[in-house]
């Protein structure tokens, strides 16, 4: 049995608490929001987003960050991506040397263009930082729906420890050394999922969305490989796997936000109605900035930024994508 803290009491944090407790571990959830802690203690569930999933009685809820970070075998970083740096900064003085921290949030920091594990490592340099990602809706994991995911770590030993900690008969965990590829796949797919939602909101069909997803992964792979990720990762669970589930499921907050915009809502209206952090909106500008920094062509990312931030019509954005210059599908393939 391991002693585990989950920093963040949102949907994913609570789902993982249920999973890890079921695996026999001693689990503590930390939140800085008093109302959230009170609700979890009183109701033993996340009433807002997981009303049908019960939090085991033995899961401890705390507002004390020091308690959450002291004498733990594993710390799970599950706060929303915009709050990763401030949480890591606050926790840093409390973290022991070589503490294993696994990041399960997805996103790119807009100001620095760093992945979230890079942000955590900057603020907590003494920690051993890993990442867990893949096609894994919290709503399904909390109910024991079969799920497969991948852990990326700097060492095989750390990856194996996290694999052993999380894996059970319905939650299969693979290991990988490609941290940067896993994080970029998990972050950038949210931007493509917004576009997929727009396509559905406009009322277009399966052909359109299949094309968008496939070309979206081409963009993600181009950037990811340029930044040091591996092609196998983008063809795997945190690449195409996560992209597929986020673009096709109504559990997806990114798909939902895009769907509302396709139906005519503004970005602000869509965000308000979804009423959760829509990671793709936060990552879209960062993705565009990375594309420009590394001189990588990402036309879908460019167009979704125009829709999000410059009030471009979604229908016009799609038309501009379809009418781009003729070209080969892959430049590397020759007759």
The one catalytic residue in 106, 189, 209, 230 is 189
What is the spatial distance between Cα 203 and Cα 191, in angstroms, rounded to a whole number? 19
Active site residue 189: yes
What is the spatial distance between Cα 43 and Cα 61, in angstroms, rounded to a whole number? 12
What is the spatial distance between Cα 14 and Cα 40, in angstroms, rounded to a whole number? 9
- Asked whether the CA dihedral 106, 109, 110, 114 is positive or negative, the reply is negative
Identify the helix (H) or strand (E) that includes residue 37. helix 34-43
The tokens describing 20, both together, are 């890890």
Phi, psi at 334, each rounded to 5°: -115, 150
Exposed/middle/buried for residue 204 (C-beta within 10 Å: 0-12, 13-18, 19+):
middle
Q: How many helices (H) and strands (E) does the chain have?
A: 16, 8
Q: What residues contact residue 323 under an 8 Å CB cut-off, 6+ apart?
A: none
What is the spatial distance between Cα 69 and Cα 325, in angstroms, rounded to a whole number? 54
Q: Which residues belong to the active site?
A: 189
């Amino acid at each position: 049995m391991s002693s585990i803290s989950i920093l963040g009491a949102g949907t994913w944090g609570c789902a993982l608490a249920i999973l890890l407790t079921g695996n026999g571990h001693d689990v503590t959830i930390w939140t800085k929001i008093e109302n959230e802690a009170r609700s979890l203690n009183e109701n033993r569930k996340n009433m807002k987003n997981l009303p049908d999933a019960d939090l085991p009685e033995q899961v401890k809820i705390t507002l004390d960050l020091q308690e959450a970070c002291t004498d733990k075998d594993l710390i799970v970083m599950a706060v929303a991506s915009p709050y990763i740096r401030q949480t890591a900064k606050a926790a840093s003085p409390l973290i022991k040397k070589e503490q294993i921290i696994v990041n399960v949030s997805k996103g790119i920091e807009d100001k620095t263009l760093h992945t979230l594990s890079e942000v955590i490592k900057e603020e907590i340099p003494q920690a051993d930082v890993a990442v867990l990602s893949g096609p894994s809706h919290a709503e399904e994991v909390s109910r024991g729906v079969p799920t497969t995911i991948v852990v990326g770590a700097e060492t095989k030993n750390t990856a194996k420890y996290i694999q052993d900690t999380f894996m059970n008969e319905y939650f299969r965990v693979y290991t990988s050394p490609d941290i940067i590829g896993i994080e970029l796949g998990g972050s950038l797919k949210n931007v493509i999922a917004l576009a997929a939602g727009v396509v559905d909101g406009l009322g277009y069909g399966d052909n359109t969305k299949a094309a968008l997803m496939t070309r979206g992964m081409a963009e993600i792979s181009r950037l990811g490989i340029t930044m040091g990720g591996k092609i196998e990762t983008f063809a795997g669970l945190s690449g195409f796997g996560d992209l597929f589930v986020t673009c096709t499921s109504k559990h997806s907050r990114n798909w939902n936000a895009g769907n509302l915009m396709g139906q005519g809502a503004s970005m602000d209206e869509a965000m308000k109605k979804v009423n959760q952090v829509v990671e793709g909106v936060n990552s879209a500008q960062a993705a565009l900035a990375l594309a420009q920094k590394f001189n990588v062509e990402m036309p879908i990312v460019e167009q979704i930024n125009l829709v999000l931030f410059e009030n471009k019509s979604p229908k016009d954005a799609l038309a501009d994508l379809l009418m781009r210059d003729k070209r080969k599908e892959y430049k590397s393939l020759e007759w």
